[in-house]
Amino acid sequence: MHSYVPEPGTDRLTDPFEGIDPRFVFDFNSYDEPDDDRQRWSTWLSVEPLCRGPEPRPDWVVTSQAAVDTELGVLKTGKEADVFLVERAVPESDAVGESVVMAAKRYRGEDHRDFHRSAGYTDGRRLRNTRDTRAMAKKSAHGRAVAAGQWAWAEWESLKRLWTLGVSVPYPVQIDGTELLMEWITVDGDTAPRLAQTRPEHDLLVSYFDQVRDFLSELARHGMVHGDLSSYNILAAGERLVVIDLPQVIDLVGNPAGMDFLLRDCTNVCRWFRARGLDVDEHAIFGELLTHAF
């Protein structure tokens, strides 16, 4: 689609292609946005290379320029982020690498309810002109958008690092601003339950605990703490556990509260395993982890 611009000093519209050798002028069909408003062109090629997942890439990652992203619905809404299911597929193709469903975690940049609530507190100090009010509103919306982008980026970095270390986390496919696309963790085609929702029999429970301990110790060995580990941020994909929700990963040594966070993570998971009948103790685990860390 080309636009006609008025010639300076006149209202006459000129054809910007006037005088161009017709051999260089061709008709083209613009890549229309998909008709369905639940769809968009795959954003894989529009993000910077550094915003795409680490190598070696799993064979299911869809990289085709012809792929379309389709919103399948919401998986879970949360305070800071919502998780959706998004299918990325080359239309009419079922081949591996041409069709996949991913989890899309979208951090909330602009929560207008929050803005209105905080406006309530400043009612007595109303700004005189609406321009300032607008600027403030804009500034705080901007501030929230920046914060959301930082959380998304922090989670992206943690996922990439841990996945590369071979730790059981979802494969991070790409990041685009406040949206993180990652491997969808499933059991028999459905979203894997959170550990909190499962009641494993004894042998599986023991194996689950070993996996959680390995996770904690692998992180500690690399100077990291999950920071919000609990049976709600661990998915049970059959016999394998997958740890999620990693925006707040903490530096065990550099952060003055690193040890406190580690003990809290140990306490949260041990409490759940104890409630399921396993005799485990957070202080024993904590001590063991520290010997791995230093």
Ligand X SMILES: Nc1ncnc2c1ncn2[C@@H]1O[C@H](COP(=O)(O)OP(=O)(O)O)[C@@H](O)[C@H]1O
Q: According to the binding rule CB under 5 A, does residue 245 interact with Mg ion?
A: yes
- For the residues of 51-77, what is the DSSP string, one character each? GBPPSSPPTT----TT-EEEEEEEEEE
Q: Which of 144, 152, 233, 280 touches ligand X (CB under 6 A)? A: 233
Q: Which of 7, 13, 15, 76 touches ligand X (CB under 6 A)? A: 76
Helix axes 130-165, 112-121, angle to 10 degrees: 130
Strand-pair partners of 102 = 86, 183
Closest-CA residue to 158 (of 234, 267, 54, 286): 54
Start-to-end CA span in the chain (Å) = 63
Q: According to the binding rule CB under 6 A, does residue 58 interact with ligand X?
A: no
Q: Which stretch binds Mg ion (CB under 5 A): 13-21, 38-46, 227-235, 260-268?
A: 227-235
By a kind-dependent CB cut-off of 5 to 8 A, residue 273 interacts, out of Mg ion, ligand X, none, with: none
Binding mask 108-127 for ligand X (x = CB under 6 A): --------------------
Q: Which stretch binds ligand X (CB under 6 A): 6-14, 63-71, 232-240, 260-268?
A: 232-240
- Indicate the residue among 156 and 184 with the shorter CB distance to ligand X: 184
By a kind-dependent CB cut-off of 5 to 8 A, residue 58 interacts, out of Mg ion, ligand X, none, with: none
Backbone angles phi, psi at 76, to 5 degrees: -165, 130
Residue 202 beta carbon to ligand X: minimum distance, rounded to whole angstroms: 25
- Indicate the residue among 227 and 293 with the shorter CB distance to Mg ion: 227
* Cα gap 123→117, rounded to integer Å: 10
Binding mask 158-197 for ligand X (x = CB under 6 A): ------------x-----------xxxx-----xx-x---
Q: According to the binding rule CB under 6 A, does residue 240 interact with ligand X?
A: no
Tokens of 44: 């894989």
Neighbours of 286 (CB within 10 A): 19
- Indicate the residue among 127 and 187 with the shorter CB distance to ligand X: 187
Cβ partners under 8 Å of residue 52, min gap 6: 44, 173, 174
By a kind-dependent CB cut-off of 5 to 8 A, residue 208 interacts, out of Mg ion, ligand X, none, with: none
* Cα gap 51→157, rounded to integer Å: 10
- Indicate the residue among 51 and 102 with the shorter CB distance to ligand X: 102
Q: Which stretch binds Mg ion (CB under 5 A): 6-14, 138-146, 200-208, 233-241?
A: 233-241
* Cα gap 243→233, rounded to integer Å: 6
Q: According to the binding rule CB under 6 A, does residue 100 interact with ligand X?
A: no
**169 and 54 in contact (C-beta within 8 Å)?**
no
By a kind-dependent CB cut-off of 5 to 8 A, residue 219 interacts, out of ligand X, Mg ion, none, with: none
* Cα gap 55→66, rounded to integer Å: 22
Closest-CA residue to 161 (of 91, 249, 232): 249
Strand-pair partners of 181 = 104, 174
Q: Which residues bind Mg ion (CB under 5 A)?
A: 233, 245
Enumerate binding residues for ligand X (CB under 6 A): 75-76, 78, 80-81, 83, 103, 105, 170, 182-185, 191-192, 194, 232-233, 235, 244-245
